[in-house]
């Protein structure tokens, strides 16, 4: 796979060595067992895959290239480039400004843009409407387009389905930038509908299995989630399901299976197979987290990443089912009054004075599971790891890494 030129300060000497050794032994990524780093007073368990994915590294490389190539020019990102505060803050410190917030609210008037301005398309992509508006203003949206190739793959598949009179059901968070962009692209060739989760999918499936005449019931659940002129009685017979690429793959598949079951109750129904649109990186990170959880024996989990990162939040959900889990942005959440961490369910920050256990495991040594989302720099994970080590009195990192490399076969 291609390597990218990303700033060195996003990399980690510790994580790089671990990943390099695991990759050398398992180049086809078939082994999802975690990495164990055994320090005297704490065992660190690292998920097999975590951190920057192909799409994120591609976006970072292009964004920093745009900064380097355009001194003195105004540079804008359509919205957050990825959902990680460290990356976005660093780009802002270099003069990059955001045109919109994550919900699409305009932060800079588009009418002030000129053809001399540089506009970077974020990894989530852009809606068709916004791209056209940029072109009308004479702004080049192609030179620094960081849209993830796997997001574009979903768009192409959606367009194919629309062109064959299938309605595209999008499993995603309705307000997320990627879902909004995918919806926009799907609407270019056909009809689309957004479902947030399995509960909404079940409501949709049950409506499809009914006599379909209670249109008011459909709109009670899905008003504002469909393309214009959507007719549920007509447009839910030929259906395909795609997803916001950062959603749990298992959830998307379960939703697709349920919708397929509903479609097949209709003599005129047809369901399109779209399994090939699921993102490999999201799948790998989720499978690696499951592999780390299956290994058992960890006392707590630390999940590192941006609090508005969808793919990271799903890793938190997986870990929460098995152990106390703390969602931390980075090492700066270790403060005088304790560790600050995000509660996804309340949407609020919490403070735990000392979340790290004093003992645990068969040997009396606690085991801490650490993973991160696809938009989180490895450097952030290393700094969190060092915070954990400091709590347990430190340790000789070099000797532990050397022992890890020696024992891997």
Asked if 100 and 78 count as a contact pair (C-beta separation under 8 A), the reply is yes
Instruction: Give the residue among 244, 76, 233 at the shortest CA–CA distance from 151.
Output: 244
DSSP 244: -
Asked if 263 and 241 count as a contact pair (C-beta separation under 8 A), the reply is no
CA distance 281 to 50: 9
CA distance 228 to 370: 44
- 178 tagged catalytic: yes
Asked if 309 and 317 count as a contact pair (C-beta separation under 8 A), the reply is no
Both tokens of 38, joined, read 């055994």
Spatial CB neighbours of 160, under 8 Å, sequence gap ≥ 6: none
Q: Choose, from 178, 200, 331, 382, the residue flagged as catalytic.
A: 178
Residue 95: strand, helix, or coil: coil
Phi-psi region of 138 (alpha: psi -120 to 50; beta: other; left: phi over 0): left
Kindly list the catalytic residues: 178
């Amino acid at each position: 796979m291609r390597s990218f030129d990303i700033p060195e300060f996003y990399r980690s000497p510790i994580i790089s060595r671990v990943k390099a050794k695991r990759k050398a032994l398992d180049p086809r990524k078939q082994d999802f067992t975690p990495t164990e780093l055994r320090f005297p007073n704490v065992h660190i368990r690292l998920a097999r895959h975590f951190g920057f994915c192909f799409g994120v590294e591609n976006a970072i490389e292009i964004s920093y290239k745009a900064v380097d190539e355009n001194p003195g020019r105004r540079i804008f990102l359509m919205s957050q480039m990825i959902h990680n505060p460290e990356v976005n803050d660093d780009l802002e410190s270099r003069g990059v400004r955001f045109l919109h917030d994550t919900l699409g609210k305009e932060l800079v008037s588009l009418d002030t843009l000129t053809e001399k301005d540089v506009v970077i398309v974020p990894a989530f992509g852009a809606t068709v409407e916004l791209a056209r508006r940029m072109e009308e203003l004479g702004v080049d949206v192609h030179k620094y387009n960081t849209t993830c190739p796997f997001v574009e793959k979903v768009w192409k598949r959606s367009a194919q389905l629309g062109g064959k009179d299938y309605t595209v059901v999008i499993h995603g968070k309705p307000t997320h930038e990627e879902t909004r962009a995918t919806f926009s692209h799907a609407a270019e060739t056909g009809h689309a509908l957004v479902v947030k989760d399995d509960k909404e999918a079940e409501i949709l499936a049950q409506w499809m299995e009914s006599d379909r005449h209670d249109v008011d019931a459909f709109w009670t659940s899905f008003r504002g989630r469909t393309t214009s002129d959507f007719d549920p009685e007509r447009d839910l017979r030929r259906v395909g399901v795609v997803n916001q690429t950062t959603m749990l793959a298992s959830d998307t598949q379960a939703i697709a299976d349920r919708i397929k079951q509903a479609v097949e109750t209709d003599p005129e129904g047809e369901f399109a197979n779209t399994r090939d649109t699921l993102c490999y990186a999201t799948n790998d990170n989720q499978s690696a987290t499951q592999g780390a959880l299956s290994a058992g024996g960890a006392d707590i989990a630390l999940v590192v990443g941006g609090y508005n990162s969808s793919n990271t939040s799903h890793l938190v959900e997986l870990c929460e089912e098995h152990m106390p889990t703390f969602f931390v942005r980075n090492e700066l959440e270790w403060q005088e009054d304790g560790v600050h961490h995000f509660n996804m369910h309340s949407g609020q920050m919490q403070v735990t004075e000392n979340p790290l256990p004093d003992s645990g495991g068969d040997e009396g040594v606690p085991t801490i599971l650490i993973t991160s989302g696809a938009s989180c720099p490895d450097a952030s994970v290393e700094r969190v790891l060092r915070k954990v080590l400091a709590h347990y009195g430190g340790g000789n990192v070099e000797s532990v890494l050397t022992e890890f490399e020696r024992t891997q076969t």
